[in-house]
């Protein structure tokens, strides 16, 4: 059967047409996924009028605001009540109102036009410097090649894209490498695959150990004369673990390679967790050999969504990130990041959030998050049908050798929890945020998890809507059909 499905994956259309029943089965799966996506969107906006073209006359402001307020009230209960993994990392009413006021004051700001909005550029520069110092970098080091510098970006994906583009151009200019390779553990974020696709880089994925941390020896064996950079995570999105970054950075230093740490998830909370006395593997610019770090203030920095920072060790390296055009009839053009125009109000909001909380504010929130995470971890450890994955800190991943974990995940969804499903191997995780530190949330989570486990034990064939999709993804020996499922899902979202 495995060889049959591999043939389907390689030939695809001709073989699917020839083998009875395969086309019908796949089309049924695609239709089910599309239906699920459409239902998800249409149910949320069922009582709003449809605009498939511009209305002949404009709609009154009061009506538009009424629609949007209805949607806000409808969509916020799950995350507001602390029933969502990650996603909304603060969400407090007072803080959200403060950020909204800041945004309104700078809603027209565009960092592309530094001459018109110099204050926005000033705030971005301070965001970079504050973040660099948080991660033990020195923006004012007397040696320009030791200064930690960077830029503000639109999110973790853009920060990773820019880092990979930077290493590609650096290796081409300074090493003559024209067929670049980057080595990343299999748990590193898919943004590295996107970067490889966009920038013609070969991404070498290496295995992880039983504790889900990068296998340093496997990365060592993968190094070739075309390798330009190594990648590690702090922490990984699936399991929240911090890779053995000192050892990987030593490899990078020894071979003269770039070393990128993806700190998008943990970069704004791990320093405070460490300050509270929890063991954290060194991952920042204290580690010799680390040459760049991506970090998302819009996660545990509690800034508006759409703000990340990419940092480099050395001013010269950052220059490979820039894009300039000198011969355009429209004038001289220079852009530090991927977009041209950007919403400067997001950057101002990020600066305002960081200054508002300060070190002590972040430290106190980290304390609350870790206390909640420890309570949830202990509760899961007490359930014999579940097993923790990795070494949980603020993100807790778990699986089961006895039950279909996706059925447990499905049951949690039916009880109002939006958790993240994992694969290879199957699992589920919850990223603890401020919302989960509210009184009673951790206790309710553990109660619902216990009830979900008991339901699956009593009803092992009750799959629901989502569990079969992840079950299929883990069982099929090829990825072609799963790729097509995801494309059908995206199509349906915008139909």
Is the CB of residue 181 less than 8 Å from the CB of residue 205? no
**pLDDT tens digits for range 343-387:** 999 999 999 999 999 999 999 999 999 999 999 999 999 999 999
341 inside domain = yes
CA dihedral 341, 343, 345, 351 (to 10 degrees): -80
Both tokens of residue 58?
């404009």
411 inside domain = no
413 inside domain = no
- The yes-or-no verdict on residue 331 having pLDDT over 60 is yes
Task: Compute the average pLDDT of residues 451-476.
Answer: 76
441 inside domain = no
Is the CB of residue 124 less than 8 Å from the CB of residue 347? yes
Compute φ and ψ for 51, nearest 5 degrees: -115, 100
Rounded Cα gap, residues 232 and 261, in angstroms:
5
Both tokens of residue 140?
């004012």
Residue 153: strand, helix, or coil: strand
Calculate helix-pair angle for 22-44, 61-75, nearest 10 degrees. 120
Rounded Cα gap, residues 352 and 103, in angstroms:
10
Tell me which of 36-40, 331-335, 403-407, 447-451 is least confident: 36-40
Is the CB of residue 350 less than 8 Å from the CB of residue 153? no
Rounded Cα gap, residues 346 and 352, in angstroms:
10
419 inside domain = no
**CA distances (Å), 83 to each of 378, 381, 412, in order?**
19, 20, 10
pLDDT band at 162 (very low <50, low <70, confident <90, very high): very high
Residue 264: strand, helix, or coil: coil
DSSP 71-112: HHHHHSHHHHTT-BSSSSS---HHHHHHHHHHHHHTTT--TT
Both tokens of residue 338?
């991927």
pLDDT band at 76 (very low <50, low <70, confident <90, very high): confident
The candidate with the shortest Cα–Cα distance to 315, out of 170, 177, 419, 466, is 170
427 inside domain = no
Rounded Cα gap, residues 438 and 81, in angstroms:
8
Is the CB of residue 158 less than 8 Å from the CB of residue 150? no
Tell me which of 16-30, 99-113, 347-361, 452-466 is least confident: 16-30
Structural domain span for residue 342? 118-353
Residue in the structure block whose two tokens are 């086309």? 23
The candidate with the shortest Cα–Cα distance to 376, out of 300, 457, 441, is 441
Is the CB of residue 271 less than 8 Å from the CB of residue 134? yes
Rounded Cα gap, residues 309 and 293, in angstroms:
8
pLDDT of 41: 80
Share of the chain above pLDDT 70, in %: 92
pTM, full prediction: 0.92
**pLDDT tens digits for range 395-447:** 999 999 999 999 999 999 999 999 999 999 999 999 999 999 999 999 999 99
Residue 325: strand, helix, or coil: strand
CA–CA–CA angle 184, 430, 377 (5° rounding): 105
387 inside domain = no
Rounded Cα gap, residues 437 and 448, in angstroms:
17
| Non-local CB neighbours of 347 within 8 Å, separated by 6+ positions | 109, 111, 120, 123, 124, 127, 152, 307
Is the CB of residue 53 less than 8 Å from the CB of residue 395? no
330 inside domain = yes
Domains in the chain, number: 1
Give the other-Cβ count within 10 Å of 16's Cβ: 16
Q: What's the CATH number where 250 sits?
A: 3.40.640.10
Q: Output the furthest CA–CA distance in the chain (Å, rounded).
A: 71
Cα 353 to its chain centre, rounded Å, is 20
Q: For all residues of the chain together, what is the average pLDDT?
A: 92
Residue 9: strand, helix, or coil: helix
Residue in the structure block whose two tokens are 């991660």? 135
């Amino acid at each position: 059967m495995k060889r049959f499905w591999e043939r389907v994956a390689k030939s695809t259309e001709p073989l699917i047409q020839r083998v009875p029943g395969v086309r019908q089965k796949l089309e049924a799966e695609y239709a089910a996924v599309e239906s699920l996506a459409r239902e998800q969107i249409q149910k949320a906006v069922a009582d709003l009028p449809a605009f498939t073209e511009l209305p002949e006359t404009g709609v009154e402001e009061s009506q538009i605001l009424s629609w949007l307020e209805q949607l806000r009230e409808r969509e916020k209960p799950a995350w507001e009540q602390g029933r969502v993994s990650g996603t909304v990392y603060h969400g407090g009413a007072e803080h959200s109102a403060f950020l909204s006021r800041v945004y309104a004051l700078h809603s027209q700001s565009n960092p592309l036009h530094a001459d018109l909005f110099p204050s926005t550029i000033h705030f971005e520069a301070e965001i970079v410097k504050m973040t660099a110092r948080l991660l033990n970098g020195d923006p004012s080091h007397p040696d320009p090649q030791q200064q930690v510098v960077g830029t503000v970006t639109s999110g973790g994906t853009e920060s990773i894209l820019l880092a990979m583009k930077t290493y590609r151009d650096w290796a081409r200019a300074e090493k003559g490498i024209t067929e670049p390779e980057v080595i990343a553990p299999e748990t590193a974020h898919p943004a590295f695959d996107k970067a490889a696709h966009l920038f013609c880089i070969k991404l070498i994925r290496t295995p992880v150990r039983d504790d889900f941390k990068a296998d340093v020896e496997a990365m060592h064996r993968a190094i070739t004369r075309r390798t330009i950079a190594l990648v590690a995570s702090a922490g990984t999105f699936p399991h929240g673990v911090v890779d053995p970054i000192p050892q990987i950075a030593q490899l990078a230093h020894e071979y003269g390679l770039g070393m990128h740490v993806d700190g998008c998830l943990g970069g704004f909370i791990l320093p405070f967790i460490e300050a509270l006395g929890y063991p954290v593997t060194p991952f920042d610019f204290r580690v010799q050999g680390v040459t760049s770090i991506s970090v998302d203030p819009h996660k545990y920095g509690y800034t508006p969504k759409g703000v990340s920072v990419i940092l480099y060790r050395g001013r010269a390296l950052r220059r490979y990130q820039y894009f300039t055009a000198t011969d355009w009839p429209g004038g001289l053009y220079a852009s530090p990041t991927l977009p041209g125009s950007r919403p400067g109000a997001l950057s101002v909001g990020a600066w305002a959030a960081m200054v508002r909380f300060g070190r002590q504010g972040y430290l106190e929130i980290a304390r609350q998050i870790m206390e909640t995470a420890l309570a949830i971890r202990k509760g899961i450890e007490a359930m014999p049908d579940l097993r923790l994955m990795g070494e949980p800190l603020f993100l807790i991943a778990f699986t089961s050798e006895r039950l279909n974990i996706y059925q447990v995940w499905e049951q949690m969804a039916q009880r109002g929890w939006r958790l993240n499903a994992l694969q290879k191997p199957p699992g589920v995780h919850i990223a603890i945020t401020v919302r989960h530190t509210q009184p009673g949330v951790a206790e309710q989570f553990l109660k619902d998890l216990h009830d979900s486990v008991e339901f699956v034990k009593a009803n092992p064939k009750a799959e629901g809507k989502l569990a079969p999709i992840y079950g299929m993804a883990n069982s099929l020996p090829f990825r072609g059909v799963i790729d097509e499922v995801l494309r059908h899902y995206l199509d349906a979202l915008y139909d």
